[in-house]
Amino acid sequence: MLTATAVVERNAYTAAMENFDHAADALELVDDVREMIKYPERILTVGVPVRMDNGRIRHFDAYRVQHSTVRGPAKGGIRYHPNVTLDEVKALATWMTWKCAVVNIPFGGAKGGVTCSPKDMSAGELERLTRRYTSAILPIIGPDIDIPAPDVYTNSQTMAWIMDTYSVTKGYPIPGVVTGKPISLGGSLGRNEATGRGVFYTIQSACQHLGLGLRGATVVVQGFGNAGSIAAQLLHDAGALVIAVSDSTGSIRNNKGLDIPALISYKEATGKVSGFPESEPIFPQELLGLECDILIPAALENTVHEENAMRVRAKVIAEAANGPLTPEADRILDSKGVFLIPDILCNAGGVTVSYFEWVQDEQHLFWEAKDVYDRLERVMKTAFKDVLKIHQQRHVPMRIAANMLGVGRVAEAIQLRGLYP
Ligand code: NAD
């Protein structure tokens, strides 16, 4: 039986700190500023008791980390996954801070997580878990304080439950407390596909920069979920050949190009990619080593690490996931000349449209899908250009360039606000 790609144990927070230090060194940031912006501002750990369908109470560990509110309210998704740890949530919150600054939206960074196995829980159990978790973090969230959104194994329904739990406590509807909501509850058109669409726009920019045509380009996607499947769909529409994809159940390949719309329908119907007609199964570790133009890791952290990075044969890596490459993998791939679109740039489309959703909720005025896409394209392509400029002018890898842009903007903001302690 094929199993999911092995994930080497590496602490994502250590990687986040390491990348911060590289960027801060390159920016020659003074120590006082580093001390002010490097670490999370607030960490809340909560125990969440939930009555399960069998009538018994079960305890879940859960977190909300606000890394920064220097440039605006904290912003970041909520993840439900068995491997969630406090360090992972701290890393994801830290990346959110730099990501919001890279795309220049007025938010800081946050992240939440619940250590649970959502695939083994009923809808009722997930609703009770979500409502109790929301009550536990309620004192520190709000439209002007900290605004959650979906992440791995949470979705618009989860956001609707959070919005409802928060609103009934306050006594009136407050849609701006979360983004990624259903459209009928104040969600934005285009939010569901925003991350994948943003990935696509940055790939377009990278291909233009590298002189690589998208028509006929070969693409491999690891993690055929929200971000991965939508990026695959848009690349397919642009004439690229998506030759292999995977999810947590297995990996499949078709050298002539997979029929992505049919695969999306198949995954919706069966919950998996494996067994898709006109595809052959391959081992997950083989998938990352396939020769292709564009590799999109779109699952979880630490997918490409020092033991498998040498096997990667892609020209471009577009990090739809957060932290899919370890710092060791970065060094190996950089030395091989692979062009990297780093996560805090590549997957920033999600938080950008979350920002649009929050603006629409605050103004009670909703935009057409085309307005959302046009604005998103402008934001993503401007951010790509800004990062590329630093990469070229300062001769630093794209990851460090993106971190320099994000960290630099937060550093500037804290200095303008004043070093208050
Ligand atoms: P999702 O739950 O919709 O999809 C995740 C996919 O990865 C699923 O298909 C799952 O089966 C697959 N997967 C899990 N483990 C795997 C493994 N070991 N090998 C192969 N596939 C595996 O989640 P998503 O929202 O698409 O998030 C994916 C990544 O993108 C995460 O790193 C997330 O933080 C990041 N991201 C998401 C958003 C967003 O708006 N959804 C925004 C920014 C970043």
| Confidence at residue 420, expressed as pLDDT on a 0 to 100 scale | 65
Q: What is the band of 1 on the pLDDT scale with cuts at 50, 70, 90?
A: very low
Q: Which residues contact 392 (CB under 8 A, 6 or more apart)?
A: none
Q: Reduced to 3 states, what is the DSSP secondary structure of residue 342? A: coil
CA-nearest residue, atom 33 of ligand 1: 321
9 pLDDT more than 70: no
With a 6 Å cutoff on the Cβ, whether 352 touches ligand 1 is no
Q: What is the band of 301 on the pLDDT scale with cuts at 50, 70, 90?
A: confident
For 136-149, how does the pLDDT look when each residue is reduced to its tens digit (9 = 90+)?
999 999 999 999 99
With a 6 Å cutoff on the Cβ, whether 347 touches ligand 1 is yes
d(CA 89, CA 161): 21
Residue 170: how many other CB atoms lie within 10 Å: 11
d(CA 373, CA 376): 5
With a 6 Å cutoff on the Cβ, whether 151 touches ligand 1 is yes
Q: If we measure between CA atoms, which residue out of 111, 104, 49 comes closest to residue 75?
A: 111
With a 6 Å cutoff on the Cβ, whether 225 touches ligand 1 is yes
Q: How far is the CA of 299 from the centre of ligand 1 (A)?
A: 4
With a 6 Å cutoff on the Cβ, whether 322 touches ligand 1 is yes
Percentage of the residues of the chain whose pLDDT score is greater than 90: 95
8 pLDDT more than 70: no
The structure's pTM equals 0.94
Catalytic residues: 111
> Best mutation site among 195, 222, 246, 276 for ligand 1, i.e. most ligand atoms within 8 A of its Cβ?
195
102 pLDDT more than 50: yes
Cα 131–137–139 angle (5° rounding)? 120
3 pLDDT more than 50: no
Q: Which residues contact 114 (CB under 8 A, 6 or more apart)?
A: 48, 60, 61, 62, 63, 78, 79, 80, 84, 129, 133
Tokens of 154: 């949470």
